[in-house]
Amino acid sequence: MQASGVFEPGVIEEIQRKAETGIYQIRGYGTLRERRWATFDDLTFLPCSLTRVPLEGYREKCSTRTVLGARYASRPVELEIPVMITGMSWGALSYNAKAALARGARAAGSSNTTGDGGMLMAERENSSTLIYEVLPSRYGVNVHHMRMADAIELTVGQGAKPGTGGLLLGSKVSEVIARQRDLPVGVDQRSPARHPDFLGPDDMIIKIEELREATDWRVPIFVKLGATRVYDDVKLAAKAGADVVVVDGMEGGTGASPAILQEHTGIPTLAAVCEARRALEDMGLYGEVQLIIAGGIRDGADAAKAMALGADAIYIGTAALIGLNCNRALYLEDYRALGAEPGCCHHCHTGRCPVGITTQDPELMARLDIDPGAERVANLLRAMTLEIQMLARACGKSDVHHLEPEDLAALSMEAAAVCGIPLAGARRAHEQRAAAGA
Protein backbone atom coordinates (compact mmCIF):
# COMPACT_ATOMS: atom_id res chain seq x y z
CA MET A 1 0.00 0.00 0.00
CA GLN A 2 1.30 3.44 -0.85
CA ALA A 3 -0.28 6.81 -0.19
CA SER A 4 -0.22 9.40 -2.94
CA GLY A 5 2.55 11.95 -2.73
CA VAL A 6 0.12 14.53 -4.08
CA PHE A 7 -3.08 13.61 -2.29
CA GLU A 8 -1.54 12.85 1.07
CA PRO A 9 -3.85 11.74 3.92
CA GLY A 10 -4.07 15.28 5.30
CA VAL A 11 -4.95 16.65 1.87
CA ILE A 12 -7.70 14.05 1.44
CA GLU A 13 -9.09 14.89 4.86
CA GLU A 14 -9.17 18.61 4.08
CA ILE A 15 -10.84 18.15 0.69
CA GLN A 16 -13.51 16.02 2.31
CA ARG A 17 -13.98 18.55 5.11
CA LYS A 18 -14.53 21.32 2.54
CA ALA A 19 -16.96 19.10 0.64
CA GLU A 20 -18.97 18.67 3.81
CA THR A 21 -18.93 22.21 5.16
CA GLY A 22 -18.58 24.46 2.11
CA ILE A 23 -16.11 26.75 3.83
CA TYR A 24 -12.38 27.21 4.04
CA GLN A 25 -10.62 25.99 7.14
CA ILE A 26 -10.33 28.50 9.97
CA ARG A 27 -7.88 28.05 12.83
CA GLY A 28 -5.46 29.89 15.02
CA TYR A 29 -1.77 29.79 15.87
CA GLY A 30 0.00 30.54 12.56
CA THR A 31 1.57 28.48 9.83
CA LEU A 32 1.85 24.74 10.47
CA ARG A 33 3.99 24.13 7.40
CA GLU A 34 7.26 22.31 7.69
CA ARG A 35 9.73 25.12 7.22
CA ARG A 36 11.61 24.40 4.02
CA TRP A 37 12.64 28.00 3.60
CA ALA A 38 15.63 29.74 5.10
CA THR A 39 15.11 30.46 8.79
CA PHE A 40 17.16 31.79 11.67
CA ASP A 41 18.27 28.17 12.20
CA ASP A 42 20.20 28.53 8.94
CA LEU A 43 22.50 31.04 10.60
CA THR A 44 25.16 30.60 13.22
CA PHE A 45 27.07 33.13 15.26
CA LEU A 46 30.82 33.51 14.84
CA PRO A 47 31.99 34.29 18.38
CA CYS A 48 35.39 35.78 19.15
CA SER A 49 38.61 33.81 19.10
CA LEU A 50 41.90 35.47 18.08
CA THR A 51 40.56 38.14 15.76
CA ARG A 52 38.19 39.56 18.35
CA VAL A 53 38.05 39.58 22.13
CA PRO A 54 34.93 38.27 23.85
CA LEU A 55 33.36 39.78 26.92
CA GLU A 56 33.12 37.64 30.00
CA GLY A 57 29.92 35.74 29.36
CA TYR A 58 28.47 35.95 32.86
CA ARG A 59 30.04 39.11 34.23
CA GLU A 60 30.89 41.98 31.94
CA LYS A 61 28.27 44.57 31.18
CA CYS A 62 26.27 44.15 28.03
CA SER A 63 23.58 46.76 27.72
CA THR A 64 20.08 45.77 26.74
CA ARG A 65 18.53 49.23 27.07
CA THR A 66 16.36 49.87 24.05
CA VAL A 67 15.17 53.26 22.82
CA LEU A 68 12.50 53.43 20.14
CA GLY A 69 11.00 56.38 18.36
CA ALA A 70 13.30 59.34 18.89
CA ARG A 71 12.84 60.49 15.30
CA TYR A 72 9.92 62.86 15.94
CA ALA A 73 8.43 61.97 19.33
CA SER A 74 9.34 64.09 22.31
CA ARG A 75 9.01 61.08 24.62
CA PRO A 76 10.52 58.00 22.96
CA VAL A 77 9.87 54.53 24.33
CA GLU A 78 12.67 53.43 26.66
CA LEU A 79 12.80 49.79 27.66
CA GLU A 80 15.18 47.78 29.78
CA ILE A 81 15.21 44.91 27.32
CA PRO A 82 14.73 44.55 23.54
CA VAL A 83 12.07 41.82 23.69
CA MET A 84 8.52 43.16 23.66
CA ILE A 85 5.01 41.71 23.69
CA THR A 86 3.19 42.14 20.38
CA GLY A 87 -0.41 43.21 19.88
CA MET A 88 -2.97 40.52 20.69
CA SER A 89 -6.52 41.60 21.25
CA TRP A 90 -8.67 41.38 24.29
CA GLY A 91 -11.23 39.18 22.62
CA ALA A 92 -8.78 36.85 20.99
CA LEU A 93 -7.20 36.58 24.45
CA SER A 94 -8.89 36.43 27.81
CA TYR A 95 -8.85 39.24 30.36
CA ASN A 96 -6.50 37.19 32.53
CA ALA A 97 -4.08 36.59 29.66
CA LYS A 98 -3.97 40.28 28.76
CA ALA A 99 -3.46 41.30 32.37
CA ALA A 100 -0.74 38.68 32.86
CA LEU A 101 1.11 39.75 29.73
CA ALA A 102 0.99 43.39 30.82
CA ARG A 103 2.14 42.67 34.34
CA GLY A 104 4.86 40.31 33.17
CA ALA A 105 6.16 42.77 30.62
CA ARG A 106 6.28 45.50 33.26
CA ALA A 107 8.20 43.26 35.66
CA ALA A 108 10.78 42.55 32.97
CA GLY A 109 11.13 46.19 31.90
CA SER A 110 9.39 45.63 28.60
CA SER A 111 6.19 46.70 26.86
CA ASN A 112 2.95 45.18 25.74
CA THR A 113 0.53 46.14 22.99
CA THR A 114 -3.24 46.41 22.93
CA GLY A 115 -4.47 44.65 19.74
CA ASP A 116 -7.70 44.78 17.76
CA GLY A 117 -10.52 45.82 20.04
CA GLY A 118 -9.20 48.74 21.98
CA MET A 119 -7.59 49.07 25.35
CA LEU A 120 -8.45 46.97 28.36
CA MET A 121 -8.06 49.22 31.39
CA ALA A 122 -6.42 46.42 33.34
CA GLU A 123 -3.79 46.36 30.63
CA ARG A 124 -2.99 50.02 31.14
CA GLU A 125 -2.96 49.67 34.89
CA ASN A 126 -0.58 46.73 34.73
CA SER A 127 1.77 48.16 32.12
CA SER A 128 4.72 50.44 32.44
CA THR A 129 4.89 50.85 28.66
CA LEU A 130 1.75 50.28 26.62
CA ILE A 131 1.58 50.51 22.84
CA TYR A 132 -1.86 51.41 21.51
CA GLU A 133 -2.70 49.73 18.26
CA VAL A 134 -4.84 51.51 15.64
CA LEU A 135 -6.14 48.90 13.23
CA PRO A 136 -8.42 49.04 10.19
CA SER A 137 -11.43 47.92 12.24
CA ARG A 138 -11.01 50.78 14.73
CA TYR A 139 -12.81 48.65 17.32
CA GLY A 140 -12.85 50.40 20.65
CA VAL A 141 -10.79 53.37 19.48
CA ASN A 142 -10.96 55.99 22.18
CA VAL A 143 -8.91 59.16 22.03
CA HIS A 144 -8.57 59.25 25.81
CA HIS A 145 -7.07 55.77 25.85
CA MET A 146 -4.82 56.72 22.96
CA ARG A 147 -3.53 59.66 24.95
CA MET A 148 -2.75 57.34 27.89
CA ALA A 149 -0.49 55.21 25.71
CA ASP A 150 3.28 55.33 25.39
CA ALA A 151 3.31 54.75 21.64
CA ILE A 152 0.79 54.38 18.83
CA GLU A 153 1.04 51.51 16.41
CA LEU A 154 -0.74 52.09 13.11
CA THR A 155 -1.26 48.59 11.81
CA VAL A 156 -1.39 48.09 8.07
CA GLY A 157 -1.07 44.33 8.18
CA GLN A 158 0.09 41.32 10.16
CA GLY A 159 2.39 38.48 9.21
CA ALA A 160 -0.03 35.59 9.62
CA LYS A 161 -2.51 37.08 7.16
CA PRO A 162 -1.23 40.18 5.39
CA GLY A 163 -3.82 41.92 3.27
CA THR A 164 -6.68 40.65 5.39
CA GLY A 165 -8.50 41.97 8.43
CA GLY A 166 -8.91 40.33 11.78
CA LEU A 167 -11.26 37.49 12.55
CA LEU A 168 -13.00 36.69 15.80
CA LEU A 169 -15.55 33.93 15.64
CA GLY A 170 -18.88 34.28 17.37
CA SER A 171 -18.00 31.93 20.20
CA LYS A 172 -15.60 34.58 21.47
CA VAL A 173 -17.80 37.62 20.85
CA SER A 174 -19.22 37.52 24.36
CA GLU A 175 -21.38 40.28 25.81
CA VAL A 176 -18.44 42.18 27.18
CA ILE A 177 -16.37 41.83 24.00
CA ALA A 178 -19.35 42.78 21.84
CA ARG A 179 -19.90 45.89 23.94
CA GLN A 180 -16.23 46.84 23.73
CA ARG A 181 -16.30 46.51 19.92
CA ASP A 182 -19.81 47.88 19.30
CA LEU A 183 -20.89 44.59 17.74
CA PRO A 184 -23.84 42.24 18.18
CA VAL A 185 -23.16 39.37 20.57
CA GLY A 186 -22.13 36.15 18.86
CA VAL A 187 -21.42 37.43 15.34
CA ASP A 188 -18.45 36.13 13.42
CA GLN A 189 -16.51 39.36 13.41
CA ARG A 190 -14.61 39.77 10.16
CA SER A 191 -12.66 42.99 10.36
CA PRO A 192 -11.96 45.19 7.36
CA ALA A 193 -8.60 44.91 5.64
CA ARG A 194 -8.29 48.59 4.74
CA HIS A 195 -8.32 51.51 7.09
CA PRO A 196 -11.61 53.37 6.83
CA ASP A 197 -10.09 56.79 6.28
CA PHE A 198 -6.92 56.35 4.27
CA LEU A 199 -5.81 54.13 1.43
CA GLY A 200 -2.22 54.63 0.32
CA PRO A 201 1.04 55.95 1.71
CA ASP A 202 0.32 59.54 0.71
CA ASP A 203 -2.82 59.58 2.83
CA MET A 204 -0.94 57.80 5.59
CA ILE A 205 1.40 60.77 5.93
CA ILE A 206 -1.58 62.86 6.95
CA LYS A 207 -2.96 60.08 9.15
CA ILE A 208 0.30 59.83 11.06
CA GLU A 209 0.26 63.57 11.56
CA GLU A 210 -3.30 63.30 12.90
CA LEU A 211 -2.18 60.71 15.44
CA ARG A 212 0.67 63.00 16.47
CA GLU A 213 -1.74 65.89 16.89
CA ALA A 214 -4.02 63.70 19.01
CA THR A 215 -1.11 62.82 21.28
CA ASP A 216 0.59 66.24 21.31
CA TRP A 217 3.59 64.88 19.37
CA ARG A 218 4.72 63.19 22.58
CA VAL A 219 4.71 59.50 21.71
CA PRO A 220 6.29 57.59 18.83
CA ILE A 221 4.21 56.36 15.93
CA PHE A 222 4.96 52.80 14.87
CA VAL A 223 3.76 51.47 11.50
CA LYS A 224 3.24 47.71 11.44
CA LEU A 225 3.44 45.78 8.18
CA GLY A 226 2.75 42.20 7.28
CA ALA A 227 5.83 40.96 5.46
CA THR A 228 5.13 40.94 1.74
CA ARG A 229 6.89 43.53 -0.44
CA VAL A 230 8.98 44.51 2.53
CA TYR A 231 11.64 46.61 0.82
CA ASP A 232 9.11 48.95 -0.80
CA ASP A 233 6.69 48.96 2.13
CA VAL A 234 9.35 49.86 4.67
CA LYS A 235 10.55 52.71 2.48
CA LEU A 236 7.00 54.01 2.14
CA ALA A 237 6.34 53.73 5.87
CA ALA A 238 9.57 55.54 6.73
CA LYS A 239 8.86 58.22 4.14
CA ALA A 240 5.37 58.64 5.59
CA GLY A 241 6.95 59.65 8.87
CA ALA A 242 6.98 56.51 10.99
CA ASP A 243 9.29 56.67 13.98
CA VAL A 244 9.43 52.90 14.13
CA VAL A 245 8.61 50.28 11.50
CA VAL A 246 7.39 46.88 12.63
CA VAL A 247 7.70 44.02 10.16
CA ASP A 248 5.81 40.83 10.95
CA GLY A 249 6.94 37.75 9.05
CA MET A 250 4.85 34.87 7.77
CA GLU A 251 5.59 32.73 10.83
CA GLY A 252 3.59 35.19 12.92
CA GLY A 253 0.67 33.92 14.93
CA THR A 254 -3.03 34.72 14.96
CA GLY A 255 -6.04 33.96 17.08
CA ALA A 256 -8.10 33.01 14.04
CA SER A 257 -7.62 33.16 10.31
CA PRO A 258 -8.38 31.18 7.19
CA ALA A 259 -5.67 28.53 7.17
CA ILE A 260 -4.94 29.17 3.51
CA LEU A 261 -3.73 32.67 4.35
CA GLN A 262 -1.52 31.43 7.16
CA GLU A 263 0.06 28.87 4.87
CA HIS A 264 0.29 30.66 1.55
CA THR A 265 0.85 34.38 2.07
CA GLY A 266 3.74 36.55 3.10
CA ILE A 267 7.47 36.02 3.30
CA PRO A 268 9.53 34.50 6.11
CA THR A 269 10.73 36.62 9.01
CA LEU A 270 14.39 36.05 8.11
CA ALA A 271 13.90 37.43 4.63
CA ALA A 272 11.78 40.26 5.99
CA VAL A 273 14.40 41.60 8.38
CA CYS A 274 17.02 41.60 5.62
CA GLU A 275 14.77 43.49 3.20
CA ALA A 276 13.73 45.95 5.88
CA ARG A 277 17.30 46.79 6.81
CA ARG A 278 18.27 47.29 3.18
CA ALA A 279 15.31 49.64 2.70
CA LEU A 280 16.28 51.81 5.65
CA GLU A 281 19.94 51.79 4.66
CA ASP A 282 19.10 52.81 1.10
CA MET A 283 17.11 55.74 2.48
CA GLY A 284 19.86 56.73 4.85
CA LEU A 285 17.46 56.16 7.74
CA TYR A 286 18.94 53.03 9.30
CA GLY A 287 19.43 53.90 12.95
CA GLU A 288 17.13 56.89 12.76
CA VAL A 289 13.98 54.87 12.12
CA GLN A 290 13.96 51.85 14.42
CA LEU A 291 13.02 48.40 13.22
CA ILE A 292 11.04 45.88 15.24
CA ILE A 293 10.87 42.34 13.91
CA ALA A 294 8.12 39.87 14.68
CA GLY A 295 6.94 36.52 13.41
CA GLY A 296 7.74 33.19 15.00
CA ILE A 297 10.57 34.36 17.24
CA ARG A 298 11.08 31.51 19.70
CA ASP A 299 14.12 32.24 21.82
CA GLY A 300 17.13 34.44 22.39
CA ALA A 301 18.96 32.92 19.45
CA ASP A 302 16.24 33.89 16.96
CA ALA A 303 16.07 37.32 18.56
CA ALA A 304 19.83 37.87 18.57
CA LYS A 305 20.10 36.82 14.93
CA ALA A 306 17.30 39.17 13.95
CA MET A 307 19.07 41.95 15.83
CA ALA A 308 22.38 41.14 14.17
CA LEU A 309 20.61 41.42 10.83
CA GLY A 310 19.15 44.82 11.65
CA ALA A 311 16.34 44.72 14.18
CA ASP A 312 16.42 47.14 17.09
CA ALA A 313 13.86 45.16 19.04
CA ILE A 314 11.80 41.99 18.82
CA TYR A 315 8.12 41.31 19.29
CA ILE A 316 7.00 37.98 20.63
CA GLY A 317 3.41 36.78 20.63
CA THR A 318 2.97 33.03 20.35
CA ALA A 319 6.09 32.43 22.46
CA ALA A 320 4.63 34.59 25.21
CA LEU A 321 1.39 32.60 25.12
CA ILE A 322 3.36 29.37 25.30
CA GLY A 323 5.03 30.90 28.34
CA LEU A 324 1.53 31.29 29.80
CA ASN A 325 1.00 27.52 29.36
CA CYS A 326 -0.39 27.41 25.82
CA ASN A 327 -0.08 23.79 24.65
CA ARG A 328 1.00 22.59 28.09
CA ALA A 329 -0.13 19.11 29.14
CA LEU A 330 -2.89 20.21 31.49
CA TYR A 331 -6.61 19.48 31.26
CA LEU A 332 -5.99 16.73 28.71
CA GLU A 333 -9.65 15.86 28.36
CA ASP A 334 -10.37 19.39 27.14
CA TYR A 335 -7.65 19.24 24.51
CA ARG A 336 -9.10 15.97 23.27
CA ALA A 337 -12.61 17.39 23.18
CA LEU A 338 -11.23 19.86 20.63
CA GLY A 339 -9.58 17.09 18.64
CA ALA A 340 -6.17 18.29 19.79
CA GLU A 341 -3.32 17.20 22.01
CA PRO A 342 -0.89 19.29 24.05
CA GLY A 343 1.94 20.32 21.78
CA CYS A 344 -0.19 20.42 18.66
CA CYS A 345 -3.23 22.49 19.65
CA HIS A 346 -4.08 25.39 17.34
CA HIS A 347 -7.71 25.78 18.31
CA CYS A 348 -7.52 29.37 19.57
CA HIS A 349 -10.37 30.25 17.20
CA THR A 350 -12.87 28.03 19.03
CA GLY A 351 -12.79 29.97 22.26
CA ARG A 352 -12.37 26.67 24.13
CA CYS A 353 -8.73 27.10 25.11
CA PRO A 354 -8.03 24.40 27.72
CA VAL A 355 -5.56 26.60 29.60
CA GLY A 356 -7.63 29.80 29.71
CA ILE A 357 -5.63 31.98 27.33
CA THR A 358 -7.65 32.29 24.12
CA THR A 359 -11.12 32.14 25.58
CA GLN A 360 -13.88 34.34 26.92
CA ASP A 361 -15.41 31.52 28.97
CA PRO A 362 -15.14 32.51 32.65
CA GLU A 363 -14.55 28.94 33.80
CA LEU A 364 -11.75 28.33 31.33
CA MET A 365 -10.28 31.79 31.94
CA ALA A 366 -10.10 31.04 35.67
CA ARG A 367 -7.52 28.37 34.87
CA LEU A 368 -5.02 31.11 34.16
CA ASP A 369 -4.05 32.93 37.35
CA ILE A 370 -2.79 36.41 36.58
CA ASP A 371 0.10 36.63 39.05
CA PRO A 372 1.73 33.27 38.32
CA GLY A 373 1.13 33.93 34.62
CA ALA A 374 2.80 37.31 34.86
CA GLU A 375 5.75 35.75 36.60
CA ARG A 376 6.12 33.19 33.80
CA VAL A 377 5.98 35.93 31.18
CA ALA A 378 8.58 37.97 33.05
CA ASN A 379 10.80 34.91 33.44
CA LEU A 380 10.55 34.18 29.72
CA LEU A 381 11.41 37.75 28.73
CA ARG A 382 14.34 37.79 31.15
CA ALA A 383 15.65 34.42 30.01
CA MET A 384 15.45 35.43 26.36
CA THR A 385 17.31 38.63 27.18
CA LEU A 386 20.03 36.65 28.98
CA GLU A 387 20.35 34.44 25.89
CA ILE A 388 20.73 37.48 23.65
CA GLN A 389 23.36 38.92 26.01
CA MET A 390 25.17 35.57 26.09
CA LEU A 391 25.52 35.58 22.31
CA ALA A 392 26.41 39.27 22.20
CA ARG A 393 29.16 38.90 24.80
CA ALA A 394 30.56 35.90 22.98
CA CYS A 395 30.76 38.11 19.92
CA GLY A 396 32.54 40.80 21.94
CA LYS A 397 29.64 43.25 22.14
CA SER A 398 29.03 45.45 25.18
CA ASP A 399 25.54 46.28 23.88
CA VAL A 400 23.14 43.81 22.31
CA HIS A 401 22.37 46.40 19.65
CA HIS A 402 25.97 46.20 18.46
CA LEU A 403 25.39 42.74 16.99
CA GLU A 404 25.91 42.95 13.23
CA PRO A 405 25.73 40.76 10.14
CA GLU A 406 29.47 40.17 10.32
CA ASP A 407 28.83 38.19 13.50
CA LEU A 408 26.96 35.59 11.48
CA ALA A 409 27.66 32.87 8.96
CA ALA A 410 25.08 31.08 6.85
CA LEU A 411 24.55 27.35 7.10
CA SER A 412 22.61 27.06 3.86
CA MET A 413 22.90 28.55 0.41
CA GLU A 414 19.36 29.91 0.77
CA ALA A 415 20.21 31.81 3.94
CA ALA A 416 23.43 33.09 2.38
CA ALA A 417 21.51 34.36 -0.63
CA VAL A 418 18.71 35.93 1.43
CA CYS A 419 20.92 37.55 4.04
CA GLY A 420 23.88 38.46 1.88
CA ILE A 421 26.32 36.96 4.37
CA PRO A 422 28.91 34.28 3.62
CA LEU A 423 28.08 30.62 3.65
CA ALA A 424 30.07 28.97 6.42
CA GLY A 425 33.40 28.04 4.86
CA ALA A 426 33.19 30.72 2.20
CA ARG A 427 34.94 34.02 2.62
CA ARG A 428 32.60 36.18 0.61
CA ALA A 429 28.88 36.75 0.65
CA HIS A 430 26.76 35.12 -2.03
CA GLU A 431 26.10 38.49 -3.66
CA GLN A 432 29.79 39.30 -3.88
CA ARG A 433 30.57 35.89 -5.33
CA ALA A 434 27.83 36.26 -7.91
CA ALA A 435 29.08 39.73 -8.85
CA ALA A 436 32.61 38.39 -9.19
CA GLY A 437 31.37 35.54 -11.36
CA ALA A 438 32.60 32.99 -8.82
Partner 1 sequence: MAAIDCAGRPAREINARIRELLAREEQIVVRNPAGRHNLGVALLEPGRVRFEGSVGYYCAGLSDGATVEVTGSAGWGLAESMLSGEVVVRGNAGNSAGAAMRGGRVIVHGDAAARAGVSIKGGLLLIGGDCGYMTGFMGQKGAIIVCGDAGEGFADSMYETVCYVGGTVRDPGNDTVVEDLAPGDLEFLETTLARHLPQAARRPARDFKKVVSGRKLWNFDRRDWRVWQEAL
Binding site for partner 1 (CB under 8 A): 21-23, 137-139, 141-144, 146-147, 170, 181-184, 186-188, 190, 192, 196-198, 203, 206-207, 209-210, 213-215, 217
> Please, what is the minimum distance in Å from the beta carbon of residue 181 to partner 1?
8
Residue among 169 and 311 whose Cβ is closer to partner 1: 169
Q: What's the first-to-final CA gap in the chain, in angstroms?
A: 47
> Please, what is the minimum distance in Å from the beta carbon of residue 29 to partner 1?
20
Residue among 351 and 422 whose Cβ is closer to partner 1: 351
> Please, what is the minimum distance in Å from the beta carbon of residue 271 to partner 1?
32
Q: Count other Cβ atoms within 10 Å, centred on residue 57.
A: 14
Are 132 and 149 in contact, with CB atoms under 8 Å apart?
Answer: yes
> Please, what is the minimum distance in Å from the beta carbon of residue 69 to partner 1?
18
Residue among 37 and 217 whose Cβ is closer to partner 1: 217
> Please, what is the minimum distance in Å from the beta carbon of residue 91 to partner 1?
14
> Please, what is the minimum distance in Å from the beta carbon of residue 437 to partner 1?
52
Residue among 145 and 430 whose Cβ is closer to partner 1: 145
> Please, what is the minimum distance in Å from the beta carbon of residue 168 to partner 1?
12
Q: Is 14 exposed, middle or buried (0-12, 13-18, 19+ CB in 10 A)?
A: middle
Residue among 114 and 325 whose Cβ is closer to partner 1: 114
CA dihedral 253, 27, 37, 157 (to 10 degrees): -50
> Please, what is the minimum distance in Å from the beta carbon of residue 272 to partner 1?
29
Residue among 186 and 396 whose Cβ is closer to partner 1: 186
CA dihedral 95, 97, 101, 102 (to 10 degrees): 10
Closest CA to 113 of 66, 77, 160: 77
Residue among 138 and 278 whose Cβ is closer to partner 1: 138
Residue among 190 and 376 whose Cβ is closer to partner 1: 190
